[in-house]
Amino acid sequence: MDVILECMTMTSFGGEAKSLALQAIALAREGKFEEAESTLEKTEEALAKSHESHARLLNYDAKNGDLKVTIFLVHAADHLASAETVTVLAREIILLHKEVKKNV
């Protein structure tokens, strides 16, 4: 297994997911809720790809027990974790924007 490649895949898709989630918030702020939801779907797809790489790494380590913790692995895990957090918060912020627009 190419651990660096898996880490870079996690990082790349995690970063994409975070960027998409932030774009979705911006769209909601403009009142473009359908576009925001569509962007969140893309966010979930990118998160899923990042999770797939993470799962492959976990699987590898469970089978072989020799996966070394490197800065690449820590960086990748950080990107995935922050993307998950931003995505959850984006969903809540979008709901708040809907409520505000509805009550104005």
The domain ranges of the chain are: 3-103
CA atoms within 13 A on the CB side of 16: 18
What string of DSSP letters covers 35-98? Answer: HHHHHHHHHHHHHHHHHHHHHHHHHHHHHH--PPP-HHHHHHHHHHHHHHHHHHHHHHHHHHHH
Residue 23 pLDDT more than 80? yes
- The SS3 call for residue 66 is coil
Q: Which residues are catalytic?
A: 75
- Amino acid at the residue 40: L
**Reported pTM:** 0.93
CATH number, domain 3-103: 1.20.58.80
Confidence bin at 103 (pLDDT 50/70/90): confident
- Exposed/middle/buried for 66, CB within 10 Å: 0-12, 13-18, 19+? exposed
Number of residues that this document lists for the chain: 104
Mean pLDDT, residues 20-47: 98
